[in-house]
Amino acid sequence: MTSIRQRFGSIGTVIAALALGVASAAARADIYVLVEKNGSVRFSNVPNDPRFRLYHREPTEHKLKDVAEARNLRNPGDYRLRAPWGRKIEPEVLANPRLARKPFQEQVVEAAKQTNLDPALIHAVIVAESNYNPNAVSPKGAEGLMQLLPDTARRYGVMKKEIRQPEKNIKAGAQYLADLLQMFDGDVRLALAGYNAGENSVVRHGNRIPPYAETRAYVPRVLNTYDQLRLR
């Protein structure tokens, strides 16, 4: 939920983060960055200055498949993270060995069971939002592992003083993500865009990823991490 510029303090950190983002990003959708002489950083999807350099591209391989195809997948979370045809996510997905040593794995699995989400997706959001820092606070006031704003947390029964508690933060964040997936008919990209920019922003832009540089960088970053963590 924090802005990209605010997440990366110094120019050196910015450059290192950009290099990591470019190296890990799957190709497509153009987001560009420009570092000014005074150290300020600008992101844009319209490179109207020759000094702009490619930050990363939005992948296309995460488009939803037909429901009939998804039924036969070992891990239906590949395309619909909250499968409407199943009440519970598959046990092998919950027992994904790639996640066994991840921080807060117990709380993530419990939230995944309650929301029927792939725990790998929850971990991917946590990595992007706080990198597993339960005390993370954004300049906009989002807090905790999944960077919940107080109003969002309250929507899911979490009081302001409880937001940084890992179990409650993860549970509320997962419930919000699951509701976004339901709202956008299982479209993972739109759900993540809504998580970052707010669901109303997605709706206002015709159920498309809003044209915000931060959001257009955030969605593929989470999906890339999810690809690395999910059960094959």
Catalytic (active-site) positions: 129
Structure tokens at 119: 């725990």
> Is residue 134 helix, strand or coil?
coil
Select from 109, 78, 108 the least CA-distant residue to 91.
109
Sign of the torsion angle spanned by Cα atoms 180, 184, 189, 195: negative
Write phi, then psi, for 197 (nearest 5 degrees).
-105, -10
Rounded to whole angstroms, how far apart are CA atoms 180 and 203?
11
Residue with structure tokens 């509701």?
A: 179
- CB-CB neighbours of 53 under 10 Å: 12
